[in-house]
């Protein structure tokens, strides 16, 4: 594919850029300028952020030369992985491919690992040895796990005590362990401190595991050991847990000695800050995280491990011409969610086009809605609309918030239905996936 791109550029050069320029100026649209396209945008990452950016860049400006670099032939979403873990959704329904981007939008999709960034020469180096030039680089690399941040938790340990926080084989491993667990066992989830990918994720996960236990292993217990003293949609989760699972789920916050310091993946034991040892039948460790490694290679992350960005465009504060979106960024108060990555992608696509064309992009507006399922017919949500104010991102005053407490069953049922509809909609919007209704 890279070779094709080279050939195309060479071909255009050979056949004479002047002729093209004339024809295009007749159309009144600056599609090719000086024998090149309107601009070359290279995107790293085929998830909610990167795939959305690729699609909307081409929708907004079809003449752009857009390359998407994503090592996997299909993307597996983190959202709804918890439903798979709870046994109410098949793994295959979480898979999305790049056919629409390639065939309908003309995005060049390269299934290789982006290995390094040559900032000075504006080239992205791929693991296969080729490299790709960009006018603008957009990184949407998601997260990497901080191996070793928890004593004893490294890649080898994750084969016994999965994180399942980057979906794939880890998700299957955790599901197999839950299925193999004997009734009466304890499932322990170790939750990280902020910031991390998908703030309500750990709590939806235990909800879905509890639903599975309730139906198949009713004597089992769930313990959440948390590195913080509060979590997203906490009141709603706890209300739902009481309603559906009685006292099956116990949450221990940091102040109550929930902070895990050490993991022993062989014995499935964890040790807390104050020396308490808990033993699990199935141990799920969600470790501390940082921006995906290519962001580090590009020099766009700071000591926090995340990428500081200019609020209006999401251009890196550290490297000009490189944009970063999604979980990898410091974009608080926007959460690290797939929805947010996608909305950021749209605003940033517009900003990149403005930057390449020398005009001014509209005032940004971002939105987020995160649904969580507590039971198959019991959904809750958090939503927010975001803007730039005094150079910083903030939630629009008076907007946003969580589902009401003590809502009736039909309200929760409706939000569960909307959660499933949302998944169908966003995966249609991002990858062109079509679910039957």
Partner 1 sequence: MRLAQMIKWGASMQQSRKRYIIPVGLLVAGLCLSAGVMIAGMTLAEPENEYEAVIGEAAPEGATPFEQRIQMIAMSCAACHGTDGRLQTAIPLLAAQPAAVMRAQLLAFKQDQMPDATVMPRLAKGYTDEELEALADYFSALSRKANPGSAL
Positions 205 through 244 that interact with partner 1 (CB under 8 A): none
168 vs 357, beta carbon nearer partner 1: 357
- Comparing CB distances to partner 1, the nearer of 249 and 352 is 352
Residues contacting residue 190 through CB under 8 Å, at least 6 positions apart: 150, 225, 227, 260, 263, 270, 283, 284, 285, 286, 287
Between residue 62 and residue 91, which ones bind partner 1 under the rule CB under 8 A? 62-63
Q: Find the shortest distance in angstroms from Cβ 33 to partner 1.
A: 12
Nearest CA-CA partner of 291 in 242, 330, 340: 330
Query: Judged by CB under 8 A, which of 320, 359, 390, 406 binds partner 1?
Result: 359
35 is a site residue for partner 1 (CB under 8 A)? no
Task: Tell me the window of 118-126, 139-147, 282-290, 418-426 that interacts with partner 1 (CB under 8 A).
Answer: 418-426
CB 238 within 8 A of CB 231: no
* Rg of the chain (C-alpha set): 23
Of 20 and 173, CB closest to partner 1: 20
Residues 364-383, interacting with partner 1 (CB under 8 A): 364-367, 369, 381, 383
Residue 323 forms beta bridges with which residues? 138, 315
For residue 25, state whether it binds partner 1 (rule: CB under 8 A): no
Give least dist CB 238 to partner 1, A. Answer: 20
User: Can you give the three-state secondary structure of 172-208, one letter per residue?
Assistant: HHHHHHHHHCCCCCEEEEEECCCCCCCCCHHHHHHHH
Size of the site for partner 1 (CB under 8 A): 73
CA distance 96 to 76: 6
* Binding status of residue 348 toward partner 1 by CB under 8 A: no
21 touches partner 1 (CB under 8 A): no
**By C-beta, is 32 or 80 nearer to partner 1?**
32
277 is a site residue for partner 1 (CB under 8 A): no
Per CB under 8 A, contacts with partner 1 among 385-404 are 385-387, 396, 398-401, 403
Beta pairing class for 65-69 and 329-330:
unpaired
The secondary structure of the chain in percent helix, strand, coil, rounded to multiples of 5, reads 35, 25, 40
Residue 387 CB, shortest distance to partner 1, in Å, is 8
For partner 1, the closer CB: 19 or 73:
19
**CA atoms within 13 A of residue 216's CA, in its CB half-sphere:** 15
Interacting residue with partner 1 among 216, 362, 392, 405 (CB under 8 A): 362
**Residue 125, both tokens:** 């180096």
What is the Cα 258 distance to its own chain's centre? Answer: 26
Q: Provide CB contacts within 8 A for 408, sequence distance 6+.
A: none
Q: What whole-number distance in Å separates Cα of residue 143 and Cα of residue 307?
A: 11
Choosing from 13, 18, 25, 29, the residue that interacts with partner 1 (CB under 8 A) is: 29
One residue of 31, 88, 318, 319 binding partner 1 per CB under 8 A: 31
- CB distance 325 to 345 below 8 Å: yes
Taking contact as CB under 8 A, which single stretch among the options 51-59, 74-82, 83-91, 205-213 is the one that binds partner 1?
Answer: 51-59
Q: Is there a cis peptide before residue 111, judged by omega within 30 degrees of 0?
A: no
CB of 365 to partner 1, least distance (A): 5
Query: What is d(CA 115, CA 127) in angstroms, rounded to the nearest whole number?
Result: 5
Question: Which segment (18-26, 142-150, 194-202, 250-258) binds partner 1 by CB under 8 A?
Answer: 18-26
Closest to partner 1 by CB, 182 or 410 = 410
Tokens 């340990």: give the residue.
157
Handedness of CA 211, 212, 214, 215 (dihedral sign): positive
Stretch that binds partner 1, among 69-77, 149-157, 220-228, 415-423 (CB under 8 A): 415-423
Q: Which of 13, 73, 90, 104 binds partner 1 (CB under 8 A)?
A: 104
**CB-based contact 305:155 (threshold 8 Å):** no
Q: Which residue has the tokens 């989760």?
A: 237
Question: Which CB sits closer to partner 1, 124 or 353?
Answer: 353
Q: Does 255 bind partner 1 (CB under 8 A)?
A: no
């Amino acid at each position: 594919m890279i070779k094709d791109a080279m050939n195309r550029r060479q071909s255009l050069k050979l056949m004479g850029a002047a002729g093209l320029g004339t024809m295009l100026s007749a159309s009144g649209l600056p599609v090719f300028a000086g024998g090149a396209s309107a601009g070359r945008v290279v995107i790293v990452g085929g998830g909610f952020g990167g795939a959305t950016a690729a699609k909307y860049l081409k929708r907004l400006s079809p003449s752009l030369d857009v390359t998407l670099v994503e090592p996997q032939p299909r993307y597996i979403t983190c959202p709804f992985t918890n439903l798979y873990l709870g046994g109410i959704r098949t793994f295959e329904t979480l898979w999305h491919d790049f056919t629409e981007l390639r065939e309908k939008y003309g995005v060049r999709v390269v299934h290789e690992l982006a290995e390094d960034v040559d900032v000075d020469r504006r080239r992205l180096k791929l693991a296969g040895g080729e490299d790709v030039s960009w006018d603008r680089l957009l990184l949407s690399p998601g997260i990497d796990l901080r191996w070793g941040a928890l004593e004893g938790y490294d890649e080898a340990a994750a084969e016994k005590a999965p994180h399942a926080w980057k979906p794939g084989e880890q998700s299957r491993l955790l599901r197999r362990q839950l299925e193999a667990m004997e009734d009466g066992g304890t499932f322990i989830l170790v939750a990280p401190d902020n910031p991390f990918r998908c703030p309500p994720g750990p709590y939806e996960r235990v909800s879905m595991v509890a639903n599975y236990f309730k139906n198949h292993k009713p004597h089992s217990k769930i313990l959440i050991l948390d590195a913080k003293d509060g979590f997203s949609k906490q009141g709603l989760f706890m209300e739902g847990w009481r309603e559906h699972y009685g006292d099956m789920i116990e949450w221990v916050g940091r102040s109550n000695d929930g902070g895990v310091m050490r993991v022993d993946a062989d014995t499935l034991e964890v040790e807390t800050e104050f020396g308490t040892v808990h033993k699990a039948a199935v141990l799920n460790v969600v470790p501390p995280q940082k921006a995906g490694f290519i962001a580090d290679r590009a020099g766009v992350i700071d000591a926090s491990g995340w990428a500081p960005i200019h609020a209006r465009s999401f251009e890196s504060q550290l490297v000009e011409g490189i944009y970063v979106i999604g979980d990898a960024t410091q974009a608080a108060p926007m959460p690290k969610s797939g929805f947010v990555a996608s909305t950021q992608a749209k605003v940033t696509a517009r900003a990149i086009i403005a930057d390449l064309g020398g005009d001014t992009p509209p005032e940004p507006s971002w939105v987020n809605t995160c649904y969580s399922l507590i039971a198959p017919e019991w959904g809750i949500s958090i939503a927010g609309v975001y803007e730039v104010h005094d150079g910083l991102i903030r939630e629009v005053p008076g907007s946003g918030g969580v589902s009401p407490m003590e809502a009736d069953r039909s309200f929760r049922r409706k939000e569960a239905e909307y959660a499933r509809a949302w998944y169908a909609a966003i995966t249609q919007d991002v990858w062109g996936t079509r679910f039957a209704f």
